[in-house]
Amino acid sequence: MSDKYYENVWDALPFPSFVVTSLGEITQANAAAEQLVSTSYKQMLTKHISQFFTDNSIINSTLKQAVKDDGSVTQYNVDIAVIGQSAAVSNIYVSFINPNRTELLLVIQPTGIAQKMSQSLTNLSAARSVTAMAAMLAHEIRNPLAGISGAAQLLAMNATKDDSELADMIVQEATRIGKLVDRVEHFGDQRPMHAMPVNIHDILDRAQRAAKAGYGADILFNVDYDPSLPNVSGDADQLLQVFQNLLKNAAEAMDGKHGTIKLRTSYNSGVKLVMQGKNTQNLPMKIEIIDNGCGVPENLISEIFDPFVSSKTNGTGLGLSLVSKIIAGHGGLVECNSEQGRTNFCIRLPAWREKKEAH
Protein backbone atom coordinates (compact mmCIF):
# COMPACT_ATOMS: atom_id res chain seq x y z
CA MET A 1 0.00 0.00 0.00
CA SER A 2 1.18 3.48 -0.81
CA ASP A 3 2.61 6.02 1.61
CA LYS A 4 -0.34 8.24 0.76
CA TYR A 5 -2.69 5.50 1.93
CA TYR A 6 -0.97 5.28 5.32
CA GLU A 7 -0.87 9.07 5.54
CA ASN A 8 -4.64 9.11 5.11
CA VAL A 9 -5.09 6.42 7.75
CA TRP A 10 -2.81 8.34 10.11
CA ASP A 11 -4.77 11.55 9.66
CA ALA A 12 -8.12 9.80 9.96
CA LEU A 13 -7.27 8.43 13.43
CA PRO A 14 -9.55 10.19 15.91
CA PHE A 15 -6.93 10.07 18.67
CA PRO A 16 -4.15 12.66 18.93
CA SER A 17 -1.04 10.69 17.95
CA PHE A 18 2.61 11.69 17.80
CA VAL A 19 5.78 9.94 16.74
CA VAL A 20 8.72 11.07 18.86
CA THR A 21 12.38 10.15 19.16
CA SER A 22 13.56 8.46 22.34
CA LEU A 23 14.59 11.95 23.50
CA GLY A 24 11.05 13.23 23.01
CA GLU A 25 11.48 15.23 19.77
CA ILE A 26 8.43 15.16 17.54
CA THR A 27 8.93 13.63 14.08
CA GLN A 28 5.27 13.04 13.13
CA ALA A 29 1.87 14.22 14.31
CA ASN A 30 -1.55 13.44 12.92
CA ALA A 31 -4.47 15.80 12.29
CA ALA A 32 -6.05 15.07 15.71
CA ALA A 33 -2.72 15.96 17.36
CA GLU A 34 -2.54 19.22 15.38
CA GLN A 35 -6.01 20.05 16.61
CA LEU A 36 -5.23 19.13 20.23
CA VAL A 37 -2.20 21.40 20.55
CA SER A 38 -3.49 23.98 18.00
CA THR A 39 -0.21 23.81 16.08
CA SER A 40 0.50 22.61 12.58
CA TYR A 41 2.53 19.46 12.11
CA LYS A 42 5.31 21.42 10.39
CA GLN A 43 5.66 23.77 13.34
CA MET A 44 5.84 20.83 15.72
CA LEU A 45 8.69 19.11 13.87
CA THR A 46 11.88 18.65 15.95
CA LYS A 47 10.30 20.43 18.90
CA HIS A 48 10.22 18.60 22.20
CA ILE A 49 6.85 17.06 23.08
CA SER A 50 6.93 18.61 26.58
CA GLN A 51 6.78 22.10 25.03
CA PHE A 52 3.12 21.52 24.24
CA PHE A 53 1.98 20.15 27.59
CA THR A 54 2.11 21.54 31.13
CA ASP A 55 4.79 20.28 33.48
CA ASN A 56 2.57 18.07 35.52
CA SER A 57 1.34 16.18 32.47
CA ILE A 58 2.59 12.68 32.76
CA ILE A 59 3.70 12.43 29.13
CA ASN A 60 7.39 12.94 29.72
CA SER A 61 7.66 10.39 32.48
CA THR A 62 5.69 7.85 30.43
CA LEU A 63 8.04 8.25 27.47
CA LYS A 64 11.06 7.88 29.75
CA GLN A 65 9.57 4.78 31.28
CA ALA A 66 8.95 3.18 27.88
CA VAL A 67 12.55 3.88 26.91
CA LYS A 68 13.80 2.49 30.22
CA ASP A 69 11.63 -0.64 30.08
CA ASP A 70 12.32 -1.04 26.38
CA GLY A 71 8.62 -1.73 25.83
CA SER A 72 5.16 -0.26 25.65
CA VAL A 73 3.49 1.63 28.49
CA THR A 74 -0.20 2.38 29.01
CA GLN A 75 -1.44 4.75 31.68
CA TYR A 76 -5.12 5.02 32.45
CA ASN A 77 -6.88 8.05 33.86
CA VAL A 78 -4.06 10.59 33.89
CA ASP A 79 -4.43 14.38 33.68
CA ILE A 80 -3.17 15.72 30.36
CA ALA A 81 -3.08 19.50 29.96
CA VAL A 82 -2.10 21.28 26.78
CA ILE A 83 -0.34 24.58 27.59
CA GLY A 84 -3.02 27.24 28.08
CA GLN A 85 -5.87 24.75 28.41
CA SER A 86 -7.41 22.97 31.35
CA ALA A 87 -6.46 19.38 32.04
CA ALA A 88 -8.47 16.52 30.55
CA VAL A 89 -8.48 13.05 31.99
CA SER A 90 -7.01 10.75 29.37
CA ASN A 91 -5.43 7.39 28.76
CA ILE A 92 -2.01 7.40 27.11
CA TYR A 93 -0.25 4.69 25.18
CA VAL A 94 3.44 4.73 24.30
CA SER A 95 5.15 2.10 22.19
CA PHE A 96 8.28 1.72 20.07
CA ILE A 97 7.48 1.53 16.38
CA ASN A 98 10.77 0.56 14.74
CA PRO A 99 13.03 -2.42 15.37
CA ASN A 100 16.08 -0.33 16.28
CA ARG A 101 13.97 1.41 18.92
CA THR A 102 14.67 5.00 18.05
CA GLU A 103 11.11 6.19 17.58
CA LEU A 104 8.00 5.87 19.72
CA LEU A 105 4.31 6.26 19.03
CA LEU A 106 2.43 8.30 21.60
CA VAL A 107 -1.37 8.16 21.51
CA ILE A 108 -3.55 10.27 23.77
CA GLN A 109 -7.11 9.10 24.29
CA PRO A 110 -9.38 11.48 26.18
CA THR A 111 -11.59 9.38 28.45
CA GLY A 112 -14.65 10.87 26.80
CA ILE A 113 -13.74 8.56 23.94
CA ALA A 114 -12.77 5.77 26.31
CA GLN A 115 -16.25 5.92 27.75
CA LYS A 116 -17.64 5.14 24.34
CA MET A 117 -15.52 2.01 24.49
CA SER A 118 -17.12 1.43 27.83
CA GLN A 119 -14.85 1.26 30.81
CA SER A 120 -15.96 0.43 34.26
CA LEU A 121 -14.02 3.07 36.21
CA THR A 122 -16.79 5.57 36.63
CA ASN A 123 -19.64 3.47 37.87
CA LEU A 124 -18.39 2.56 41.31
CA SER A 125 -20.79 5.00 42.90
CA ALA A 126 -23.71 3.43 41.05
CA ALA A 127 -22.58 0.06 42.38
CA ARG A 128 -22.50 1.48 45.89
CA SER A 129 -26.01 2.86 45.70
CA VAL A 130 -27.27 -0.54 44.54
CA THR A 131 -25.43 -2.14 47.44
CA ALA A 132 -27.34 0.01 49.92
CA MET A 133 -30.63 -0.72 48.21
CA ALA A 134 -29.95 -4.44 48.13
CA ALA A 135 -30.25 -5.01 51.86
CA MET A 136 -33.51 -3.08 52.01
CA LEU A 137 -34.95 -4.95 49.02
CA ALA A 138 -34.10 -8.35 50.42
CA HIS A 139 -35.83 -7.65 53.74
CA GLU A 140 -38.84 -5.79 52.49
CA ILE A 141 -39.73 -7.95 49.54
CA ARG A 142 -39.06 -11.53 50.61
CA ASN A 143 -41.76 -11.87 53.29
CA PRO A 144 -44.72 -10.44 51.38
CA LEU A 145 -43.56 -12.37 48.35
CA ALA A 146 -43.69 -15.65 50.26
CA GLY A 147 -47.21 -14.66 51.36
CA ILE A 148 -48.35 -13.94 47.80
CA SER A 149 -46.90 -17.16 46.52
CA GLY A 150 -48.41 -19.26 49.33
CA ALA A 151 -51.85 -17.67 48.93
CA ALA A 152 -51.79 -18.28 45.18
CA GLN A 153 -50.94 -21.94 45.75
CA LEU A 154 -53.88 -22.28 48.16
CA LEU A 155 -56.22 -20.60 45.69
CA ALA A 156 -55.06 -22.94 42.92
CA MET A 157 -56.20 -25.97 44.91
CA ASN A 158 -59.91 -25.17 44.71
CA ALA A 159 -59.93 -23.15 41.51
CA THR A 160 -61.35 -23.81 38.07
CA LYS A 161 -58.88 -24.65 35.28
CA ASP A 162 -58.67 -21.03 34.04
CA ASP A 163 -58.28 -19.64 37.51
CA SER A 164 -55.65 -22.16 38.44
CA GLU A 165 -53.61 -21.14 35.37
CA LEU A 166 -53.74 -17.57 36.62
CA ALA A 167 -52.74 -18.70 40.09
CA ASP A 168 -49.80 -20.62 38.60
CA MET A 169 -48.78 -17.47 36.81
CA ILE A 170 -48.74 -15.58 40.09
CA VAL A 171 -46.52 -18.27 41.59
CA GLN A 172 -44.15 -18.23 38.59
CA GLU A 173 -43.83 -14.47 38.59
CA ALA A 174 -43.33 -14.42 42.35
CA THR A 175 -40.53 -16.96 41.90
CA ARG A 176 -38.97 -14.70 39.28
CA ILE A 177 -39.07 -11.71 41.65
CA GLY A 178 -37.55 -13.94 44.32
CA LYS A 179 -34.64 -14.76 42.02
CA LEU A 180 -34.13 -11.10 41.28
CA VAL A 181 -34.04 -10.37 45.00
CA ASP A 182 -31.45 -13.13 45.43
CA ARG A 183 -29.25 -11.60 42.76
CA VAL A 184 -29.59 -8.10 44.11
CA GLU A 185 -28.78 -9.38 47.58
CA HIS A 186 -25.75 -11.19 46.22
CA PHE A 187 -24.71 -7.93 44.63
CA GLY A 188 -24.90 -6.21 47.99
CA ASP A 189 -22.64 -8.77 49.58
CA GLN A 190 -20.10 -6.63 51.37
CA ARG A 191 -17.73 -9.29 52.60
CA PRO A 192 -14.18 -8.04 52.29
CA MET A 193 -12.08 -9.43 49.51
CA HIS A 194 -9.40 -11.94 50.54
CA ALA A 195 -6.49 -11.38 48.20
CA MET A 196 -4.60 -14.60 47.61
CA PRO A 197 -2.36 -15.84 44.83
CA VAL A 198 -4.81 -17.11 42.23
CA ASN A 199 -4.02 -19.17 39.15
CA ILE A 200 -6.27 -17.43 36.66
CA HIS A 201 -6.12 -20.32 34.21
CA ASP A 202 -7.71 -22.61 36.82
CA ILE A 203 -10.48 -20.08 37.28
CA LEU A 204 -11.03 -19.76 33.53
CA ASP A 205 -11.14 -23.55 33.20
CA ARG A 206 -13.69 -23.83 35.99
CA ALA A 207 -15.87 -21.14 34.44
CA GLN A 208 -15.58 -22.88 31.09
CA ARG A 209 -16.54 -26.27 32.52
CA ALA A 210 -19.61 -24.77 34.18
CA ALA A 211 -20.59 -23.16 30.87
CA LYS A 212 -20.11 -26.37 28.89
CA ALA A 213 -22.27 -28.29 31.35
CA GLY A 214 -25.16 -25.86 30.91
CA TYR A 215 -25.91 -22.82 28.78
CA GLY A 216 -22.71 -23.14 26.71
CA ALA A 217 -23.06 -26.75 25.55
CA ASP A 218 -23.16 -25.83 21.82
CA ILE A 219 -20.33 -23.34 21.99
CA LEU A 220 -16.80 -23.89 20.78
CA PHE A 221 -14.24 -22.75 23.33
CA ASN A 222 -10.90 -21.62 22.03
CA VAL A 223 -8.14 -21.23 24.59
CA ASP A 224 -4.99 -19.16 24.15
CA TYR A 225 -3.20 -19.04 27.51
CA ASP A 226 0.22 -17.62 28.24
CA PRO A 227 1.64 -20.53 30.27
CA SER A 228 4.25 -18.33 31.94
CA LEU A 229 1.63 -16.06 33.49
CA PRO A 230 2.25 -15.51 37.22
CA ASN A 231 -0.55 -15.70 39.78
CA VAL A 232 -3.11 -12.94 40.02
CA SER A 233 -3.63 -11.20 43.33
CA GLY A 234 -7.30 -11.80 44.01
CA ASP A 235 -10.24 -13.64 45.48
CA ALA A 236 -10.80 -16.93 43.63
CA ASP A 237 -14.56 -17.16 44.29
CA GLN A 238 -15.19 -13.59 43.19
CA LEU A 239 -13.06 -13.99 40.06
CA LEU A 240 -14.92 -17.19 39.17
CA GLN A 241 -18.14 -15.20 39.41
CA VAL A 242 -16.68 -12.57 37.06
CA PHE A 243 -15.78 -15.07 34.34
CA GLN A 244 -19.03 -16.99 34.72
CA ASN A 245 -20.95 -13.78 34.15
CA LEU A 246 -18.83 -12.90 31.11
CA LEU A 247 -19.11 -16.38 29.58
CA LYS A 248 -22.86 -16.42 30.15
CA ASN A 249 -23.24 -13.06 28.42
CA ALA A 250 -21.07 -14.26 25.54
CA ALA A 251 -23.15 -17.43 25.20
CA GLU A 252 -26.36 -15.40 25.28
CA ALA A 253 -25.06 -13.19 22.47
CA MET A 254 -24.83 -16.16 20.09
CA ASP A 255 -27.52 -16.96 17.62
CA GLY A 256 -27.48 -20.38 16.07
CA LYS A 257 -24.74 -22.94 16.33
CA HIS A 258 -21.52 -21.28 15.27
CA GLY A 259 -20.74 -19.57 18.54
CA THR A 260 -17.07 -19.38 19.47
CA ILE A 261 -15.69 -17.96 22.67
CA LYS A 262 -11.99 -17.29 22.93
CA LEU A 263 -10.27 -17.06 26.30
CA ARG A 264 -6.89 -15.37 26.05
CA THR A 265 -4.35 -14.42 28.69
CA SER A 266 -1.14 -12.42 28.40
CA TYR A 267 1.37 -10.45 30.44
CA ASN A 268 1.78 -6.74 29.68
CA SER A 269 4.29 -5.16 32.00
CA GLY A 270 3.65 -1.56 30.93
CA VAL A 271 0.01 -1.17 31.98
CA LYS A 272 -0.63 1.11 34.91
CA LEU A 273 -3.80 2.51 36.41
CA VAL A 274 -3.56 5.95 37.96
CA MET A 275 -6.45 6.79 40.27
CA GLN A 276 -6.71 10.21 41.82
CA GLY A 277 -5.38 10.24 45.36
CA LYS A 278 -4.28 6.61 45.20
CA ASN A 279 -1.06 4.79 44.45
CA THR A 280 -0.38 3.85 40.87
CA GLN A 281 -1.37 0.23 40.36
CA ASN A 282 0.51 -2.06 37.99
CA LEU A 283 -1.93 -4.19 36.03
CA PRO A 284 0.17 -6.59 33.98
CA MET A 285 -2.31 -9.49 33.84
CA LYS A 286 -4.55 -9.28 30.82
CA ILE A 287 -7.49 -11.66 30.42
CA GLU A 288 -9.75 -11.40 27.40
CA ILE A 289 -13.07 -13.06 26.69
CA ILE A 290 -13.84 -12.67 23.00
CA ASP A 291 -17.05 -13.86 21.36
CA ASN A 292 -18.38 -13.81 17.82
CA GLY A 293 -21.95 -13.00 18.83
CA CYS A 294 -24.30 -10.15 17.99
CA GLY A 295 -22.29 -7.40 19.70
CA VAL A 296 -23.46 -4.98 22.39
CA PRO A 297 -26.40 -2.87 21.15
CA GLU A 298 -24.91 0.50 20.15
CA ASN A 299 -27.22 2.52 22.38
CA LEU A 300 -26.15 0.52 25.44
CA ILE A 301 -22.38 0.44 25.01
CA SER A 302 -21.66 3.43 27.24
CA GLU A 303 -23.74 2.10 30.11
CA ILE A 304 -23.45 -1.70 30.16
CA PHE A 305 -21.51 -1.63 33.43
CA ASP A 306 -24.29 0.30 35.15
CA PRO A 307 -26.73 -1.71 37.25
CA PHE A 308 -30.10 -2.68 35.71
CA VAL A 309 -29.00 -2.03 32.13
CA SER A 310 -30.14 -4.97 30.02
CA SER A 311 -31.35 -5.72 26.52
CA LYS A 312 -32.72 -9.12 27.55
CA THR A 313 -36.35 -9.91 28.40
CA ASN A 314 -35.41 -11.74 31.55
CA GLY A 315 -32.12 -10.00 32.26
CA THR A 316 -31.56 -8.22 35.57
CA GLY A 317 -28.73 -6.13 34.15
CA LEU A 318 -26.65 -6.90 37.22
CA GLY A 319 -24.13 -9.29 35.63
CA LEU A 320 -21.67 -6.73 34.31
CA SER A 321 -22.28 -4.40 37.19
CA LEU A 322 -21.09 -7.16 39.51
CA VAL A 323 -18.11 -7.82 37.21
CA SER A 324 -17.20 -4.16 37.43
CA LYS A 325 -17.64 -4.06 41.20
CA ILE A 326 -15.46 -7.14 41.76
CA ILE A 327 -12.72 -6.01 39.38
CA ALA A 328 -12.68 -2.54 40.94
CA GLY A 329 -12.38 -4.25 44.35
CA HIS A 330 -9.26 -5.95 42.98
CA GLY A 331 -7.83 -2.59 41.90
CA GLY A 332 -8.21 -3.73 38.28
CA LEU A 333 -9.87 -2.50 35.15
CA VAL A 334 -12.45 -3.92 32.75
CA GLU A 335 -13.04 -2.63 29.23
CA CYS A 336 -15.41 -3.65 26.51
CA ASN A 337 -14.86 -3.26 22.80
CA SER A 338 -17.74 -4.44 20.71
CA GLU A 339 -19.00 -4.58 17.18
CA GLN A 340 -21.30 -6.99 15.44
CA GLY A 341 -19.57 -10.38 15.28
CA ARG A 342 -16.81 -9.54 17.76
CA THR A 343 -17.08 -8.51 21.38
CA ASN A 344 -14.03 -8.34 23.58
CA PHE A 345 -14.16 -7.98 27.35
CA CYS A 346 -10.66 -7.23 28.55
CA ILE A 347 -9.79 -7.48 32.23
CA ARG A 348 -6.55 -6.22 33.72
CA LEU A 349 -5.49 -7.30 37.18
CA PRO A 350 -2.50 -6.92 39.47
CA ALA A 351 -0.03 -9.80 39.72
CA TRP A 352 0.45 -11.42 43.10
CA ARG A 353 4.19 -10.93 43.58
CA GLU A 354 4.27 -7.34 42.39
CA LYS A 355 1.59 -6.38 44.85
CA LYS A 356 3.52 -8.00 47.71
CA GLU A 357 6.65 -6.12 46.74
CA ALA A 358 4.79 -2.84 46.76
CA HIS A 359 3.86 -3.25 50.43
Among 317, 329, 337, 346, binds ligand ATP (CB under 6 A): 317
Tell me how far apart the alpha carbons of residues 49 and 104 are, in angstroms, rounded to a whole number: 12
| 319 is a contact residue toward Mg ion (CB under 5 A) | yes
Q: Where is 249: in which H helix or E strand? A: helix 236-252
Choose the one of Mg ion, ligand ATP, none that binds residue 350, judging by a C-beta under 5 to 8 angstroms depending on kind: none
- Residues 318-347 as x/- pattern, contact with ligand ATP by CB under 6 A: xxxx---------------------x----
In terms of CB distance, is 14 or 315 closer to ligand ATP? 315
| 118 is a contact residue toward Mg ion (CB under 5 A) | no
Helix H segments across 29-160?
31-37, 41-44, 59-69, 111-117, 124-157
Residue 15 C-alpha from the chain's centroid: 20
| 249 is a contact residue toward Mg ion (CB under 5 A) | yes
Tell me how far apart the alpha carbons of residues 229 and 60 are, in angstroms, rounded to a whole number: 30
Q: Is beta strand 260-267 parallel, antiparallel or unpaired with respect to 196-198? A: unpaired
- Residues 232-261 as x/- pattern, contact with ligand ATP by CB under 6 A: -------------x---xx--x--------
> How near is the Cβ of 76 to Mg ion at its closest, in Å?
25
| 311 is a contact residue toward ligand ATP (CB under 6 A) | yes
Tell me how far apart the alpha carbons of residues 118 and 121 are, in angstroms, rounded to a whole number: 9
> How near is the Cβ of 291 to Mg ion at its closest, in Å?
12
State whether residue 201 is helix, strand or coil: helix
Q: Are 192 and 232 in contact (CB under 8 A)?
A: no
In terms of CB distance, is 249 or 282 closer to Mg ion? 249
Residues in contact with ligand ATP by CB under 6 A are 245, 249-250, 253, 291, 293-297, 300, 304, 309-312, 315-321, 343
